[in-house]
Structure formats: structure tokens, C-alpha cells
């Protein structure tokens, strides 16, 4: 039987599943924020936060919010300010562990990038953790190793940015 996947806005009923996925992905790294903190990120920009719905169950999510470039949320503090910036910060992207390496993470990343373009953002940023820098490099993000980050991200975290082209690259790397 074929699986039906769709990317949609985060609904109120989705939060327990989102929090469970976040804990599964980040508890071992000491980076889990928990549901209340994640909700503050989504409240800052509900139109750029999505879940991956796989046959009626939440199989992944992405939370992104406007943030000044070369800055990022502090994992220990709730989001209290809604920033008006041309940069969309991809705060969190998680796919359920058994469903990884099937292109679903790339699909979520592409969806949020397309949404950012449509909404007029010119750049995207993120903090790569847990050895995910190669995943993001393959999607056009460049590392900025000297960018200071809040301590909560860990010593191996890397701030990365990508320019948003006027037209989507559909997963291809931009031409050099």
C-alpha cells in the first residue's frame, strides 16, 4: 500500500507528536527544548512552521521564524520578540528516526525554502548540530564557523546561511 504524505501547517493537536519527535532527536545531544519552548518559536511565525503528515500521523516537522542574520534563538529562553527581518531562521527540522534517508527531510527543507521565497525572505539561516553540516551544505547552505552561538547549542554547532534564489532549485545545488 502506498503511503500518503503531505506537508501542512502545525495544528494544535500536533504538538504532543512534535514534542515527542524533538525529544527523540535531541535528548541524546542535550538540546531538547520541550513543547512549551517549541510553541514560542512557532507563535513567532506560524506561517513558516509545518508538519509532515504520513497517513495521518506526524512523521516530521520544521519550525522556522524570522530572525536577524547571524543571530539565532537561545535554546534556554522562550521567544518573546517577533523579528521583522529578511532572513528566515530554520530553527528545527526533524524526521522520525525510522523514516530517515527517504528524502523526507529534503522535502521539508524545500517546502520551507519555497515558502520563504513566496513570503519575500532573501536569506535563510540555521544552526547545524549533530553532524548535520553535510546535509545542509548539500542544500546550498554555507558554514560561518566564526559566528558566536549561545552555549546551549554545543561546541560542535555551526551557523550556516543560504541565499534564496528567485526560483526554487528543487533540491539541486546552485550553480557556482
Every domain of the chain and the residues it spans: 5-163
Q: Are 127 and 159 in contact (CB under 8 A)?
A: yes
pTM of the entire predicted model? 0.89
pLDDT tens-place string over residues 117-174 = 999 999 999 999 988 999 999 999 999 998 999 989 988 999 999 999 764 544 443 3
Q: Which fold has domain 5-163?
A: Aminopeptidase (3.40.630)
**Is 84:34 a contact under the CB 8 Å cutoff?**
no
Contacts 24+ apart (CB under 8 A), 139-142: 139/106, 139/109, 139/113, 139/171, 139/173, 140/169, 140/173, 140/174
Cα distances from 100 to residues 47, 95, 96, in angstroms, run 25, 6, 7
Work out the number of other CB atoms within 10 angstroms of the CB of residue 154. Answer: 14
- Over residues 56-100, the pLDDT tens digits come to 999 999 999 999 999 999 998 988 888 999 999 999 999 999 999
* 90 grid coordinates: 530554520
Asked if residues 94 and 130 have their Cβ atoms less than 8 Å apart, the reply is no
Amino acid at each position: 500500500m502506498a503511503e500518503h504524505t503531505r506537508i501542512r501547517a502545525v495544528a494544535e493537536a500536533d504538538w504532543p507528536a512534535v514534542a515527542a519527535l524533538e525529544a527523540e532527536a535531541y535528548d541524546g545531544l542535550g538540546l531538547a527544548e520541550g513543547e512549551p519552548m517549541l510553541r514560542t518559536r512557532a507563535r513567532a511565525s506560524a506561517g513558516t512552521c509545518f508538519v509532515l503528515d504520513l497517513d495521518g500521523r506526524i512523521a516530521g516537522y520544521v519550525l522556522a521564524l524570522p530572525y536577524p542574520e547571524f543571530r539565532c534563538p537561545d535554546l534556554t529562553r522562550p521567544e518573546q520578540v517577533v523579528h521583522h527581518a529578511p532572513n528566515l531562521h530554520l530553527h528545527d527540522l526533524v524526521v522520525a528516526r525510522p523514516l530517515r534517508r527517504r528524502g523526507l527531510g529534503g522535502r521539508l527543507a524545500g517546502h520551507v525554502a519555497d515558502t520563504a521565497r513566496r513570503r519575500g525572505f532573501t536569506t535563510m539561516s540555521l544552526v547545524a548540530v549533530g553532524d548535520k553540516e553535510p546535509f545542509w551544505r548539500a542544500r546550498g547552505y554555507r558554514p560561518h564557523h566564526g559566528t558566536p552561538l549561545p552555549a546551549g547549542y554545543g561546541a560542535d554547532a555551526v551557523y550556516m546561511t543560504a541565499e534564496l534564489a528567485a526560483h526554487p532549485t528543487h533540491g539541486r545545488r546552485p550553480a557556482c
